[in-house]
Amino acid sequence: MTQPGIFGLGAPEHCYLEFSLQDGASPTDLVKAVAGLTGPLSTGGGVNLVVGFRPELWAQAAPDHAPSGVRGFTEPIVGADGFQMPATQRDAWAWVAGSDRTAVFNNSRNVIAALAGIATVASEVTGWVYEHDRDLTGFIDGTENPSLLVAPGVAVVADGPGAGSSVLLFQRWRHDSDTFQTLPVEEQERVIGRTKADSVELDEAVMPPTSHVSRTVVEEDGEELKIFRRNTAYGTVTEHGTMFVGFSHEQRTLDLMLRRMAGATEDGLRDELTRYTTPVSGAYYVIPSVTALARFAPEDDD
């Protein structure tokens, strides 16, 4: 069974936590602590929890349940014009989402407390849904997302090692909103590759090859390689941006998308949106199946 929170749409409040394993604690210690997190979470508050691990750490703790070939984000991606996507890989990741800010806050504190002595908080970011379905550029985000009917086929490893798990790409992108908003709407649309009002993809005749759509819509043998996005806005009025939360059944699709955005492919074309947004973090996590995590959960007292 896949962790259901991956597909739990509709929550307006979010908290993302990354953890580093403490000296003296083992990967198995961390997995066991995370597997026991259902206790601190409040079911009455309508809170979803999704957890993941650095691919190498999960493979060490649960080699029979690790998807093959998945690696941590340990080296920056260097693209055109010296552009870089930084690598800030941590050991574990927790995403608390809910309808109420108080519940998300309290449960996030409980998650941290449950891991005390085993892992320390390496990063914490709070997110929220901006104008229902738009990011802070003002454009609709996730237009290319598959429907929930087909999303599991895109986001979840179907069979073999790691069946029921997912590969997460987690990045924080800081926006230069002031500069972007000074562009005429028509130029903003050429940067994105869609109309701003209703997110209609630009015609091929006017679609720039460096538009965000052109660089992130990846096709092989005429078939689009899709991912499942759960992005949110983050930050303050003076510093803000997008939390990229992208799930796939294979890491290769995510890596290819990033390299195309950076201009680190043969054509050397860089995503024009990266002129107005800056990646400040980057990590991959394996999101284990509930079944795999249950092997590490503490036994019921009764």
Name the percent of the chain lying above pLDDT 70.
97
Query: Please, are residues 82 and 132 in contact by the beta-carbon 8 Å criterion?
Result: no
Q: Is the pLDDT of residue 259 over 80?
A: yes
**Residue among 157, 153, 151 at smallest CA distance from 289:** 157
Query: Please, are residues 179 and 185 in contact by the beta-carbon 8 Å criterion?
Result: no
Q: How far apart are CA 201 and CA 102, in angstroms?
A: 38
Q: What is the pLDDT of residue 143?
A: 87
Q: Is the pLDDT of residue 301 over 90?
A: no
Local confidence band at 302 (pLDDT 50, 70, 90 cut-offs): very low
| Mean pLDDT across 61-81 | 96
Q: Parse the chain into domains and list their residue ranges.
A: 12-294
Residue bearing tokens 């997995």: 31
CA 82 to chain centre: 24
| Mean pLDDT across 162-167 | 97
Across 36-40, 115-119, 162-166, least confident range: 36-40
| Mean pLDDT across 257-286 | 97
Q: What is the pLDDT of residue 244?
A: 98
3 state SS for the chain: CCCHHHHCCCCCEEEEEEEEECCCCCHHHHHHHHHCCCCCCCCCCCCEEEEEECHHHHHHHCHHHCCCCCCCCCCCEECHHHCEECCCCCCEEEEEEECCHHHHHHHHHHHHHHCCCCEEEEEEEEEECECCCECCCCCECCCCCCCCCCHHHHHCCCCCCCCCCEEEEEEEEEECHHHHHCCCHHHHHHHHCECCCCCCECCCCCCCCCCHHHHHCCEECCEECCCEECCEEEECCCCEEEEEEEEECCHHHHHHHHHHHHCCCCCCCCCHHHHCEEECCCEEEEECCHHHHHCCCCCCCC
| Mean pLDDT across 192-214 | 96
Q: What is the pLDDT of residue 123?
A: 98
Express each pLDDT in 178-196 by its tens digit.
999 999 999 999 999 999 9
Q: Is the pLDDT of residue 93 over 90?
A: yes
* Model pTM above 0.85: yes
Q: Which residues are catalytic?
A: 141
Q: Is the pLDDT of residue 28 over 80?
A: yes
Give 12-294's CATH code, choosing from 1.10.357.10, 1.10.10.10, 3.30.70.1030, 2.60.40.10.
Answer: 3.30.70.1030
Q: Is the pLDDT of residue 73 over 60?
A: yes
Q: Is the pLDDT of residue 43 over 80?
A: no
Q: What is the pLDDT of residue 300?
A: 65
Q: What is the pLDDT of residue 195?
A: 97
Local confidence band at 267 (pLDDT 50, 70, 90 cut-offs): very high
| Mean pLDDT across 214-236 | 93
Q: What are phi and psi of 136, to 5 degrees?
A: -80, 0
Q: How far apart are CA 94 and CA 137, in angstroms?
A: 26
Q: Is the pLDDT of residue 126 over 80?
A: yes
Q: What is the pLDDT of residue 42?
A: 53
| Mean pLDDT across 222-235 | 94
